[in-house]
Structure 1
Amino acid sequence: MKAVIVPEVKAAWELHERPVPEPGPKEVLVRIHACAICGTDLWLAHGVLSFREFPLLMGHEGVGEVVAVGAGVTERKVGDRVGMPMMQKRCGACAFCREEHPNSFVTAGNCANPTLTGVNVDGAFAEYLATDVGGTVLLPDGLSYEDAAPTLCAGYTVWAGIRRADARPGARVAVVGLGGIGHFAVQFAKAVGYHVIVVTRTPDKHELARELGADDVVADGAALEEIGGADVILHTSSSHAAVIDAMTGLRPWGKVVLMGIGLDDLAIPALSLTTHSHQIIGSAHNGLEYLSEALDIVASGRVKPMTELFAVEQANDAYEKAAAGEVRFKAVVTFGLDS
């Protein structure tokens, strides 16, 4: 099979031939149709995060069709259309797993030996992937593989964060940042009836923000406060400083949901946090039920991922454009199959 390999830190992505894996007990073999590039992939490729030695076969936003099932598999059958999010399998034996938590990023971060697709085991930047059946989710009928792939992580993250915020109907929701995660956040928040405000200092994104559904677009927290503030701030930016600035416009009892990760320090304004009873919520993938909901919303047409498609032979071009911030907003590697 063709597989996209990262041979060493910051190296060009290469197309190699590798054997097709065999599905073991409780595993399925998936023929990959598409896999999106996530910011985490870039961090792994650049050595910012490290979970195993190079060379790497990454990819945790993969979608495709089940073509074989291993012994004991009853949950999936040949022909099922599935996605493979990062959290594939918990170890089941450590103290955390004995508490019987569902698959989520919290499990990924606390299980003693989790299996993470495309992170500490091979991922979906290949024509085939063998994965634990519990690390798959069914795709809705009518949802293209190209739209499903970026929903597996970026869309999942956003929708799980919105659900964690648990804002009242019609609440004012501010999205800080308008990138791979942010463009999902604007659309998901609008799809469920919130008043959506985009906070961005990039003038050429203002028109796009409104096209995606934003009711208002402002440059900073002072401007957010001036137009009435927000009940929820969705942190989708790579800059913590931008979010802290936006908190100037956070209403009393408001919530900040961290789903973007910056490399700068997160300096919380303690006095306003206390006097306004603000909440800071960390949120990533909060359970597969939220991924299923996100996929259903995208399948309904209320949310449309903005993607740029690259054939597998162009995987390095996709990587370089994504690393340079030149993709609006998700690079998706495809494997030459119909959707």
Structure 2
Amino acid sequence: MRKTTGMALLRPGGPWEPFSFERRDLRADDVAVRVTWCGVCHSDLHAAEALTEGAPPLVPGHEFVGEVAAVGPDVTSFRVGDAVAVGNIVDSCGACAACRAGEEVFCAEFPALTYGGAENTFGGYAQEYVVREGFVYALPPGLDPAGVAPLMCAGATVFGALRTWDVGPGQVVGIVGLGGLGHLAVKFAKALGARVVVFTTSPDKQGPALMLGADETVVSSGAVAMASQAGRFDFILDTASGKHDPTPYLRTLKIDGTLCMLGTPDRYEPESMVMAMGRRRLAASAGAGRPRVREMLDFAARHGITADVEKLPATEAGTALARLAANDVRWRFVLDLRELG
């Protein structure tokens, strides 16, 4: 077994502290990654809030970059010292229809996630991670590694949705919410050639949205402002994580327009007649398979796209999650694992 150290929550409500544990020995097709930067995702916060007494220590993290520390004998794509990235899926059955189509995120056996599973208990808030070669990606040259880390979850999630619905030139695209996912959705949608409009409930985010590349902003809490957008949008990507009513956004869609939801509030209650009058669609999306992730990284490299990040030492994981809960970040935290331990 391979010993390593991570930042862990040992009990509900407790402090985040260094925690030593073991990774599996390398299998023939395994890559050991020395983690350098790991993004902090809302799902990490949800996992911390859900931790119960008696549960194993929580070491989150599913969007990270690093360097290859060792490889198994059958690995051919990577060598020790290569710069690499890993996302939120680290294995799948490889045999179901979804996996054969390169949509491992929808694996019929459910994909192996980067942490919280039977085998991958501990995630990327750690010095080292062991993963199958097929779920490791070459880090694009010329991009800030810390800014690439959030692309492996947040970036893949928004890019996958934008590409699935063929966002491109001539379209008017709305982005709901301006956070870790939303700010990357703005960058990718703009680079794909769309006219990008950001919906936000916070007037103070209008300026930052324009600086990120948005063409326009709409304060969605204003009824008059929303009414002025009726029937305008080809596609809207809703990245807001809080519970909210999608009906006002459905009204802004053109005939046959689509509103794609990425957040996971308790429930949505859209008005069915608003959807019927215009053949509007309410859809959902989650993550991306390996071919799409590779496409996303290539696209990001060509267009110079990375996440806007605030870097913190790994020992400040608790601070990052507390500030994330308070919506005090622009736009993604990344933890520096290089000095841990």
TM-score under structure 1 normalisation?
0.89
| Alignment-derived partner of residue 239 in structure 2 | 236
- What CA deviation, in whole Å up to 9, does each residue of 1:256-296 have, x standing for no partner? 11222223x21122112122111222212232222223223
- 1:258·1:282 contact (CA, 8 Å) conserved in 2? yes
Displacement of 1:167 in angstroms is 3.5
- 1:118 corresponds in structure 2 to 115
Task: State whether residues 6 and 14 of structure 1, in contact with CA within 8 Å, keep that contact through their aligned partners in structure 2.
Answer: yes
2:9 maps to 6
Q: Cα offset for 1:219?
A: 1.7
Distance in 2 (alpha carbons) for counterparts of 1:179 and 1:327: 8
Q: CA deviation at 1:59?
A: 1.0
Which runs of 5 or more residues in structure 1 are unaligned? none
Measure, in 2, the Cα distance between the counterparts of 1:23 and 1:225: 58
Question: How far has the Cα of 1:20 moved from its partner?
Answer: 6.4
Aligned-residue sequence identity (percent) comes to 31
How far apart, CA to CA, are the structure 2 residues paired with 1:268 and 1:91? 35
CA deviation after TM superposition for structure 1 residue 90, in Å: 1.4
Task: Tell me by how many angstroms 1:25 deviates.
Answer: 2.3
Give the Å deviation of 1:26.
1.3
The C-alpha deviation readout for 1:15-37, integer Å capped at 9, x for no partner, is 12345653222111111110001
Partner residue, 1:57:
59
2:31 to 21, 24, 28: 28
The match for 1:210 is: 210
User: Does 1:334 find its partner at 2:330?
Assistant: no
- Is the contact between residue 37 and residue 333 of structure 1 (CA under 8 Å) also seen in structure 2? yes
Corresponding residue number in structure 2 for 1:252? 255
Q: Is the 8 A contact 2:99 2:106 kept in 1?
A: no
In 2, distance between residues paired with 1:281 and 1:20?
Answer: 38
How many residues are paired up? 329
Q: Is the 8 A contact 1:187 1:303 kept in 2?
A: yes
Partner of 1:148: 148
Matches of 1:168 and 1:189, distance apart in 2:
7
- Give the structure 1 partner of residue 69 of structure 2: 67
- Partner residue, 1:80: 82
Q: 1:92 to 1:211 in 2, by over 3 A?
A: closer
Contact in 2 for aligned 1:223/1:249 (Cα 8 Å): no
Separation in 1, partners of 2:99, 2:24? 32
**Correspondence for 2:293 among 291, 296, 305:** 291
Find the aligned partners of 1:99 and 1:203 in 2 and give their Cα distance.
43
1:207-239 Cα distance to aligned partner (Å, 9 max, x none) = 111111111111227524514621111010123
Q: Which residue of 2 aligns with 1:167?
A: 167
Distance 1:308 1:91, change over 3 A: same
Q: 1:307 to 1:255 in 2, by over 3 A?
A: same
Seen in structure 2, the aligned counterparts of structure 1 residues 102 and 300 have a Cα distance that, compared at 3 Å, is closer
Deviates more, 1:271-280 or 1:225-234: 225-234
Give the distance between the partners of 1:178 and 1:128, measured in 2 at CA: 32
Q: Note the alpha carbon deviations across 1:106-159, whole angstroms, 9 max, x for none.
A: 12xx315x3211231121111111111122111111122101101000011110
Residue 301 of structure 1 deviates from its aligned partner by 4.7
Match of 2:178 in 1: 178
Q: Which amino acid aligns with 1:126?
A: A
Distance change >3 Å, CA 274–CA 123, structure 1 → 2: same
Query: In the aligned structure 2, how far is the partner of 1:293 from the partner of 1:222?
Result: 39
Residues 25 and 17 of structure 1: CA distance in aligned 2, closer, same or farther (over 3 Å): same
| 1:8 to partner: Cα distance | 2.5
Distance between the aligned counterparts of 2:245 and 2:98, measured in 1? 39
1:99 offset after TM fit, Å?
7.0
Once the 2 structures are TM-superposed, how far is the Cα of residue 248 of structure 1 from its aligned partner? Answer: 1.8
Question: Is contact 1:32–1:127 with CA below 8 Å preserved after alignment?
Answer: yes
Label 1:41 to 1:14 Cα distance change in 2 as closer, same or farther (>3 A).
Answer: same
What one-letter code is carried by the residue in structure 2 that aligns with 1:111? E
Question: Structure 2: which 5+ residue stretches go unaligned?
Answer: none
